[in-house]
């Protein structure tokens, strides 16, 4: 299916019928699939949460939920069909009841609707529906997998709220026997139980559902402001300003001394391809100094802070993103932050921990290794050789 990328997030560009046909094929298949329904607020969260970003962009379907996304699509010359989590949930419940499919709900125990309330409502509205509910915490530690697998659902809903529900279905989907489809659907069951009122159809049709919510829930003003004005501001910067700029970033050269030799740490990008894309850790500075950003990147990517700062160098390398280069977010490399390229500073640190302490996060890299300094340029990906050569020259001045 065609996609439109907004703030680095891929969103399906298809008609409602095309989307439903695809979902029906998922339910007939023999592979578990998952669907997310990001709204502008969720996308803003993903900008600062790389795990959420990775999960959203690797979903089998990512459906636009929110008038802000539709407007952003129009400004890009693309028409996005809104398909809200609430509408999709209602459709799948009806479909499951008619086709004798089993559904399970991982419900947030701190939400508006407890499992008992949802159960009572579903029994009244869908008497033939075969369903199972667990009230759980947002971290998923209370999930009873034995009971969940015994029930063996075809469809699994997670209502933990973003970003917990997206991370929840990504972790759970391969642990449930017989599962065909997992969905992150937010507060959809609160509308079904009527603990929360949906906007009148007129407001939904004209895209002012957010205004209705503000009228009846003025305490939501912060969230609504974020999802409308802040989102649109970020989108306009991403779309019309960043394409003329280089992204400030930091490359992290982590080394250790072993038997009189210098080894540097390299990681392999998790791209879902067979390409051996090895590089040193790197990432955006996000307004931080090179030393702070470098320590943060190493800690995030390696799960480890056992290293000593050695040096930082500003503005070592600048490059344009090559056309067609894929990023770690399953998008074109230019899409995540909207920049035309990167300007890199360098953070050098010496590792003083144990190799067993290194723990990669799954959404960025899938392997790591120590490489002899003289073999590093040969090992790194073709697009990284020039920059790594410059970085190694700087390292040698500090050894």
DSSP string, 187-220: THHHHHTTSSPPPPHHHHHTT-HHHHHHHH-GGG
Quote the pTM value: 0.89
Q: Is the dihedral of CA 191, 193, 197, 199 positive or negative?
A: positive
Mean model confidence pLDDT for the chain: 92
Tokens of 370: 């120590």
- Listed by start position, the domains of the chain span 3-238, 244-396
Residue 333 confidence (pLDDT) above 60: no
Residue 327 confidence (pLDDT) above 70: no
- Region 115-138: mean pLDDT is 98
Q: Which of 391, 145, 394 lies closest to 282 in space, CA to CA?
A: 391
Higher-scoring residue by pLDDT: 399, 183: 183
Percent of the chain's residues with pLDDT above 90: 78
- Region 56-67: mean pLDDT is 94
What is the pLDDT confidence band of residue 371, given thresholds at 50, 70 and 90? very high
Name the least confident of 118-132, 141-155, 260-274, 373-387.
Answer: 260-274
The pLDDT, as a whole number, for residue 225 is: 80
What is the pLDDT confidence band of residue 55, given thresholds at 50, 70 and 90? very high
- Region 32-50: mean pLDDT is 95
Higher-scoring residue by pLDDT: 65, 224: 65
The pLDDT, as a whole number, for residue 148 is: 97
Cα–Cα separations (whole angstroms), residue 64 to 179, 294, 374 = 24, 34, 48
195-218 pLDDT per residue, tens:
887 777 777 777 777 777 766 777
Q: Which of 227, 233, 238, 237 lies closest to 335 in space, CA to CA?
A: 238
Higher-scoring residue by pLDDT: 322, 333: 322
CATH architecture for segment(s) 244-396:
Alpha-Beta Complex (3.90)
Q: Which of 331, 322, 284 lies closest to 8 in space, CA to CA?
A: 331
Calculate Rg over the CA atoms of the chain. 23
**Neighbouring C-beta atoms of residue 62, cutoff 10 Å:** 21
Percent of the chain's residues with pLDDT above 70: 94
Residue 359 confidence (pLDDT) above 80: yes
Residue 125 confidence (pLDDT) above 70: yes
Residue 344 confidence (pLDDT) above 80: yes
Secondary structure of residue 305 in the 3-state scheme:
coil
- Region 56-61: mean pLDDT is 96
Residue 27 CB contacts under 8 Å (≥ 6 apart), including other chains: 101, 154, 155, 180, 181
Euclidean distance between CA atoms 352 and 72, whole angstroms: 47
What is the pLDDT confidence band of residue 273, given thresholds at 50, 70 and 90? low
The pLDDT, as a whole number, for residue 224 is: 72
Secondary structure of residue 142 in the 3-state scheme:
coil
Euclidean distance between CA atoms 304 and 314, whole angstroms: 24
What is the pLDDT confidence band of residue 328, given thresholds at 50, 70 and 90? low
């Amino acid at each position: 299916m065609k996609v439109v990328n907004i703030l680095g997030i891929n969103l399906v560009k298809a008609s409602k019928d095309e989307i439903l046909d695809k979902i029906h094929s998922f339910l007939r298949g023999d592979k578990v699939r998952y669907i997310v329904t990001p709204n502008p607020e969720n996308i803003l969260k993903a900008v600062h949460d790389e795990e959420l970003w990775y999960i959203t962009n690797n979903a089998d379907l990512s459906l636009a939920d929110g008038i802000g996304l539709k407007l952003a699509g129009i400004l890009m010359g693309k028409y996005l069909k809104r398909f809200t989590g609430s509408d999709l949930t209602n459709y799948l419940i009806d479909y499951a009841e008619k086709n004798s499919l089993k559904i399970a709900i991982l419900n947030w125990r701190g939400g508006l609707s407890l499992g008992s309330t949802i159960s009572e409502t579903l029994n009244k509205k869908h008497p033939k529906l075969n369903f199972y509910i667990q009230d759980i915490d947002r971290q998923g530690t209370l999930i009873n997998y034995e009971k969940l697998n015994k029930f063996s659902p075809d469809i699994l809903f997670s209502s933990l709220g973003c970003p917990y529900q997206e991370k929840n279905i990504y972790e759970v989907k391969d642990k449930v026997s017989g599962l065909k489809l997992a969905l992150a659907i937010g507060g959809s069951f609160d509308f079904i139980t009527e603990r929360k009122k949906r906007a009148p159809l007129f407001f939904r049709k004209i895209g002012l559902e957010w205004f209705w919510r503000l009228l009846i829930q003025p305490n939501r003003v912060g969230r609504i402001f974020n999802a409308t004005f802040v989102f649109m501001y970020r989108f306009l910067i991403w779309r019309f300003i960043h394409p003329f700029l280089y992204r400030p970033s930091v490359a992290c050269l982590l080394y250790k001394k072993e038997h009189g030799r210098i080894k540097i740490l390299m990681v392999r990008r998790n791209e879902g391809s067979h390409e051996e894309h090895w590089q040193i850790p790197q990432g955006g500075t996000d307004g931080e100094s090179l030393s702070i950003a470098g320590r943060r990147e190493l800690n995030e990517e390696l799960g480890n802070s056992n290293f000593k700062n050695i040096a930082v160098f500003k503005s070592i390398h600048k490059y344009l993103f090559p056309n067609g280069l894929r990023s770690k977010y399953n998008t074109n490399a230019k899409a995540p932050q909207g920049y035309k390229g990167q300007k890199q500073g360098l953070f050098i640190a010496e590792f003083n921990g144990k190799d067993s302490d290194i723990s990669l996060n799954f959404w960025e890299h899938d392997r790591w290794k120590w490489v002899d300094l003289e073999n590093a340029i040969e090992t790194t990906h073709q697009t990284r050789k020039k920059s790594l050569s410059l970085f190694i020259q700087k390292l040698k001045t500090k050894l």
